[in-house]
Amino acid sequence: MRLAVPRPGYAAVSRWFLAAALAGLLVADLHVTTLHPFADLARLLDGLVRPDFPSVEGWSVVYTVAFAVLGVGLGAGSGLLLAIPFARSRTVRLACAGLRAVHELFWALLLMQVFGLSATTGVLAIALPYAGICAKVYAEIIEEADLAALRVLPAGTGTVSAFLYARLPEVAGRLRDYTLYRLECGLRSSLVLGFIGLPTMGFYLESAFRQGRYAEAGALLLVFYGLIGTRRLWIRGWTVPLLLAAAPLALPPAIGNAAIGASLARFLGHDIVPTPLRGAALAEPETWARLWSWLRPILADQILPGTIQTLILAQIALAATALGALVLFPLTARRFAGPLGRPLGRVLLVVVRSTPEYMLAYCGLQLLGPSMLPAILALALHNAGIVAYLMGRHADALPYRADAPTGLNLYAYETVPRLYGQFLAYLLYRWELILRESAIFGILGVTTLGFYVDAAISELRLDVAVVLIAATALVTVAVDALSRGLRRSLRIDTLPTRLSGPQPVAG
């Protein structure tokens, strides 16, 4: 009869997720294995306060921007083309789901086998998943647009004219906003690619962290925040063609691996073909028996434990994100933070959100040692920053009655209950993204799926790596489907979930 949290559906879902996260905590490895985590943290913060700017490798900044501009340009361009048949073609939808279910770092690890540590690897690693994401989001934006003008066009108007006159002007603003947001993501992705060897800022950050040159790491970080913070100044209508034209000229020269055709053929025709099938007679039942005995240990010893660990990490991180967002969002809401506190809160959350979670996790692992704890902290910090920032904007858009209470009463009785559906929509949407990222953190040493992918690639067992990556993609797609189903049953599937959406409307 009595209800803890608004609406039984909301309350039940919240309780399940919290209970699952608590259950996850019981089995998760949360040990701190380093001896002096706080001393290292203090040195890291000291590096941020006293950055050593002259030590920043200038070209790494240029490469970071060039990879991002070209990767996002290619991805968004193909995404726009794919968005047109997206609603009608199941094949296109599936292909896009496959593209975006594989994280850009996994794409990079695979592409490296063909293109080496080259610009092509960096650009394609961003372009491929971003094409899938952009196609889906562009298609949604086009679908949501007001079609009144389209209906009054004279019969017989060509598809292209109809699109250019009645659709594109409606959606151009939102497409531009979303693409700008994607470019911000692209800069983060580009930086993170450095951690696996590409010559972007992440490469120098990684070596600076590893060798304890914190003043250089701090300088690199501040330059990166500067890049993100000023993006609206240097990405404008007239600079986009310039950026796109200059980016190819600024790319780094390829390192090794000149015969791309041959290595691509070898990669597709040999390396990623499961070992038992290579050159075997496919009609023989014997071959398939051998394939099964090859696959079974991968399933049992790698995919299963890896998936469990990935799901556990994602679940705990999601619950931590939820709690973090509920605590942080008042910092950016006018009624709670006041006119002075709010700008500071916003700056804090923008900085947190601009920090790539992979890098946060890397720092955390340096400080705390290889366990789930740094991964949870990194995911929760980054995502709570994002969700809290968005919730703050929604909270400011709420129309409160003139005699509304204040402080904790307002928070508990008005703000949170009214935003709770929106809050769940954001969290369920971020669930899939947190899961993708959880899998990737395996590369850093947490035993999620990425751990096994990284091991398979370093043993040059690319066939195993591809199976593992496909499994990761399937888990991602499954969680995405579950999240969408939940959002639909809670009737919050029409609420905004994207970061680049229009200003929230009061509701």
Task: Give yes or no for residue 407 binding other proteins (CB under 8 A).
Answer: yes
Task: Give yes or no for residue 19 binding other proteins (CB under 8 A).
Answer: no
Residue among 85, 405, 485, 502 that touches other proteins (CB under 8 A): 405
Reduced 3-state DSSP string for 432-482 = HHHHHHHHHHHHHCCCCHHHHHHHHHHCCCHHHHHHHHHHHHHHHHHHHHH
Task: Closer to other proteins by CB, 107 or 420: give it.
Answer: 420
Task: Give yes or no for residue 346 binding other proteins (CB under 8 A).
Answer: no
Task: Give yes or no for residue 10 binding other proteins (CB under 8 A).
Answer: yes
Q: Report the distance separating Cα 458 and Cα 134, nearest Å.
A: 31
Task: Closer to other proteins by CB, 359 or 424: give it.
Answer: 424
Specify the stretch interacting with other proteins by CB under 8 A; choose among 47-55, 121-129, 416-424, 442-450: 416-424
Inter-residue long-range contacts of 6-14, CB under 8 Å, 24+ positions, other chains counted: 6/417, 6/420, 7/420, 7/421, 9/489, 9/490, 10/420, 10/421, 10/424, 10/490, 13/424, 13/486, 13/490, 14/322, 14/424
Specify the stretch interacting with other proteins by CB under 8 A; choose among 1-9, 99-107, 205-213, 238-246: 1-9
Task: Closer to other proteins by CB, 132 or 421: give it.
Answer: 421
Nearest Cα residue to 471 out of 490, 499, 445, 448:
448
**What six digits make up the tokens of 113?**
């086998």
**What six digits make up the tokens of 482?**
């579950």
Task: Closer to other proteins by CB, 51 or 421: give it.
Answer: 421
CB of 8 to other proteins, least distance (A): 9
> With the CA atoms of 390, 391, 396 and 397 taken in that order, what torsion angle do they form, in degrees rounded to the nearest 10?
80
Residue found under tokens 């959880």: 438
Q: Report the distance separating Cα 125 and Cα 119, nearest Å.
A: 10
Task: Give yes or no for residue 333 binding other proteins (CB under 8 A).
Answer: no
CB of 410 to other proteins, least distance (A): 8
Residue among 90, 151, 232, 401 that touches other proteins (CB under 8 A): 401
Task: Closer to other proteins by CB, 351 or 404: give it.
Answer: 404
Task: Closer to other proteins by CB, 7 or 393: give it.
Answer: 7
Task: Closer to other proteins by CB, 265 or 412: give it.
Answer: 412
**What six digits make up the tokens of 93?**
């939808």
Task: Give yes or no for residue 402 binding other proteins (CB under 8 A).
Answer: yes
Residue among 40, 414, 432, 454 that touches other proteins (CB under 8 A): 414
Q: Which residues does 41 contact at the CB level (< 8 Å), separation at least 6?
A: 367
Residue among 159, 285, 403, 505 that touches other proteins (CB under 8 A): 403
Task: Give yes or no for residue 399 binding other proteins (CB under 8 A).
Answer: yes
Nearest Cα residue to 104 out of 472, 429, 484, 366:
472
Residue among 421, 442, 450, 504 that touches other proteins (CB under 8 A): 421
CB of 385 to other proteins, least distance (A): 25
Task: Give yes or no for residue 107 binding other proteins (CB under 8 A).
Answer: no
The answer to whether residues 201 and 60 touch, using CB atoms and an 8 Å cutoff, is: yes
Q: Where are the alpha helices (DSSP H) in 299-356?
A: 304-328, 334-354
Q: Which residues does 421 contact at the CB level (< 8 Å), separation at least 6?
A: 7, 10, 490, 491, 492, 495
Q: Which of residues 266-285 bind other proteins (CB under 8 A)?
A: none
Q: Provide the phi-psi class of 56: left if phi over 0, else alpha when psi is between -120 and 50, else beta.
A: beta
Residue among 67, 209, 336, 420 that touches other proteins (CB under 8 A): 420
CB of 392 to other proteins, least distance (A): 19
**What six digits make up the tokens of 24?**
């996850």
Task: Give yes or no for residue 4 binding other proteins (CB under 8 A).
Answer: yes
Provide the residue count of the chain. 507
Task: Closer to other proteins by CB, 7 or 167: give it.
Answer: 7
Specify the stretch interacting with other proteins by CB under 8 A; choose among 179-187, 353-361, 417-425, 470-478: 417-425
Task: Give yes or no for residue 255 binding other proteins (CB under 8 A).
Answer: no
- Give the interface size with other proteins as a residue count (CB under 8 A): 23
CB of 174 to other proteins, least distance (A): 28
Which residues of the shown chain bind other proteins in the complex (CB under 8 A)? 1-4, 6-7, 10, 399-403, 405, 407-409, 412-414, 417-418, 420-421
